[in-house]
Amino acid sequence: MREGAALLQGLAVCGHCGRRLAVHYSGRFSAPGYHCAGKNIVNGRGEYCLNIGGVQIDAAVAEAFLAALAPAGLQASLQAIEQFDADHETTLAQFRRDVERARYNAQRAERRYRAVDPENRLVARGLEAEWESALLELKTAESELSDREHARPRSLTHEERDAILALGKDLKRIWFAPTTSDRDRKELLRTLLDDVTLRVERDKYNAHLTLRWRGGLFSEVNVPLPHSHPSPIRTADDTIDLLRRLAAHYPDTKIAGILNRQGRTTATGLSFTANRVSSLRTHWEIPCFEPKQQVQDGECMTIEKAARALGIAPSTLHRCLNDGFIAGEQITPGAPWRIRINDELRSRFVEARPKVT
């Protein structure tokens, strides 16, 4: 058992999918919490099936535990122990009768076997098998009776009863004592509880707990959850509206410059940077700027085909490409060069071509 403050570590069960809840700690004071990552397995969305702070949950379970150990509850437990003793005696009486019946059957089978004529081997073998079966039943019945007698619960003495009743008065003080560690509280809790099922009802701001006690009893506890409030610190609405309009035309770096020139600041009074603009866009789900790709005109041809289209030699086109007079394209480095033929390139080579008189 680990030393963390989460009281229900190993006991908490998700009321939505039935998995064991994991424990996490957060905040400056490492407040415990419980979560179930069941949705990651179901649909891969990366969301928790259940996620709830543990402070209020642990307090509610501790209160129910201490209430169960109150003097009235302890008195009821003592009465239940006495009733269990009485039921145990009734069970033992039944097993004793089973032993007596099995012993009588074994003795009768023995008498019948010894009374048969030894010359009648067929009947003797049948009675011998019947006797052995009766002896086996007797041995089984005696073994079960012995096990039941050894499992007899030890009766409480008067001193032990008084000590248990006195414990109910002091348990709350012991539970909250500075000398009682988190590990001690967990061990105390496990003496009575098998598990606690948590079901969160966010729309009702309620957590429903089902406590399963040792012995099979159940109890229900509802824990009200705090209502969430919007953070009082937020970026001005007009700044968000302006960001929404600018994001359709400019990248984050340019938007940050525009906002700073207008004297606008973040929610905490800081100047804008590209990262802060990006974070603000992400929070308000504003799409980022995507520059439009310019559509290039003209047909892309190999050098040989382009040379024929322009009416020049391929070597001339190669020389112009190497000298940087015209632009070329490669699908991948090392691939053949391709020339995009458009009106501008055609006019350039037509003007450069010598006129025939």
Of 56-65, 152-161, 228-237, 308-317, give the lowest mean pLDDT range: 152-161
Q: Angle at the Cα of 197 (from 193 to 202), degrees rounded to 5?
A: 145
Per-residue pLDDT at 195 exceeds 90:
yes
Whole-number mean pLDDT of the chain? 81
Distances (CA, A) of 175 to 17, 59, 72: 32, 12, 18
- Report, as an integer, the average pLDDT of 142-164: 72
Give the tens place of pLDDT for each residue, 218-258.
999 999 988 765 556 788 889 999 899 889 888 899 899 88
pLDDT band at 152 (very low <50, low <70, confident <90, very high): low
Calculate what percentage of the chain has a pLDDT beyond 70.
79
Q: Rounded CA gap, 265 and 267, in Å?
A: 7
pLDDT for 51? 86
Q: Contact at 8 Å (CB) between 239 and 276? A: no
Q: Contact at 8 Å (CB) between 25 and 31? A: yes
